[in-house]
Amino acid sequence: MSDLRAVEDLHDTSGGPDAADVPRRLVSRPAIADRIFRIGSTGIGAFVLVIFGAIGFMLAIAAVPTLRRYGWHFFVENEWQPERDQVGMSEVLLGTFLVAAVALIVAFPLALTSALYISEYAPAKLRGALVALVDLMAAVPSIVYGLWGLFMLQPYLLEVAHWIHQNLGFIPLFRVNTDPDAPMWAQARYTGSIFIAGVAVAMMAIPIGCAVMREVFAQAPIGEREAALALGATRWGMVRAVVLPFGRGGIIGGTMLSLGRALGETVAVLLIIAPIFDLKARILENGGITVSSLIANRFGEATAVQLSALLTAGFVLFVITVIVNTIAAVIVSRSRSGAATEI
């Protein structure tokens, strides 16, 4: 009885009959180091957002005169001659998406297989070196990739482009305005093409996609892996039944992040592709243009009117890349958790 009374006295601090039902307030006081880190990280994140928003706001303000002058005609006109009052982005946008599409088609299987090998098949002693090697690919300047594509890749890709034209030339996408079966085929018709620029850009998109996919694959549950192997699955069977379904969101998100990287590439495309304003969807033929290469090529000699048009093109590319990267980030953050995993 005395113990029960002591417990009642402990809870009944206010003397009322319902005092024991009142929850106690818990006050947590983080350490000074934690508070400094939280404030610092919040401030840095806010500063990055402010800079990002300022860039978008500046481009939007600079785009107002051009959009007010040309309206929606700016997006359907394929000529870029500001001195003749003819400015449009149809060919520029088409070339941008074609280069990005070629880069994505080349980069996706290489990034996926590299990520699977590093996370599932590579020996433990070799895995760290492979991760560092792939990550270092992202640190190589784009001008190096451009020179590599121009002087090393192009001679071999000319043969590939010629072979594709010979066998798939009936498809408009792979058509070239020359005879592919001529005894002396015109190599100049295949140089500086969207195809060659896209392959060079793919080499820069591979590290991003591979890094995202590799991190998601590494988070596949150990229990589900071991359960698949215990049921008699081979290593590839376990990967196909557990790792790939688990990493589906990472695969999609990493691919879209690679797409965002390919959309904005400048120097490599500028070095390789021959700038031609011609509304055509032929990736093997000489010539093409992208938004980023257009800005880099015309910015130095642009007048005030031309500068406004170039900044408008940059604003359009900015919006496109923001949308693509935002969707990719959402997909990666929500990629989870074994719901589609079947054993």
Q: What is the mean pLDDT of the chain?
A: 82
Neighbours of 253 (CB within 10 A): 25
In a domain, 250, yes or no: yes
- E strands, the chain, are 80-81, 86-87
- Indicate the pLDDT class of residue 50, thresholds 50, 70 and 90: very high
- What tokens does 201 get? 């850009």
Contacts of residues 245-248 at CB distance under 8 Å and 24 or more positions apart, as own/partner, are 245/338, 245/340, 245/341, 245/342, 246/216, 246/217, 246/219, 246/220, 246/221, 246/336, 246/337, 246/338, 246/340, 246/341, 247/213, 247/216, 247/217, 247/220, 247/335, 248/335, 248/340
In a domain, 28, yes or no: no
Full residue range of the structural domain in which residue 237 is found: 89-333
Query: pTM surpassing 0.85?
Result: no
- Residue 4 pLDDT more than 70? no
- Report pLDDT digits (tens) over 121-176: 888 888 888 988 888 888 888 888 889 988 988 889 999 998 998 898 888 888 88
In a domain, 9, yes or no: no
In a domain, 297, yes or no: yes
How many angstroms separate the Cα of 228 from the Cα of each of 124, 225, 243, 335?
21, 5, 11, 21
- Residue 112 pLDDT more than 90? yes
d(CA 92, CA 81): 13
- Report pLDDT digits (tens) over 256-270: 888 888 888 888 888
In a domain, 161, yes or no: yes
Neighbours of 132 (CB within 10 A): 9
In a domain, 44, yes or no: no
The continuous run of DSSP H or E covering 236 comes out as helix 235-238
- Indicate the pLDDT class of residue 310, thresholds 50, 70 and 90: confident
The pLDDT, as a whole number, for residue 20 is: 60
CATH number at residue 275: 1.10.3720.10
In a domain, 339, yes or no: no
In a domain, 327, yes or no: yes
∠ CA 272-273-276 to the nearest 5 degrees?
155
For the chain, what is the domain count?
Answer: 1
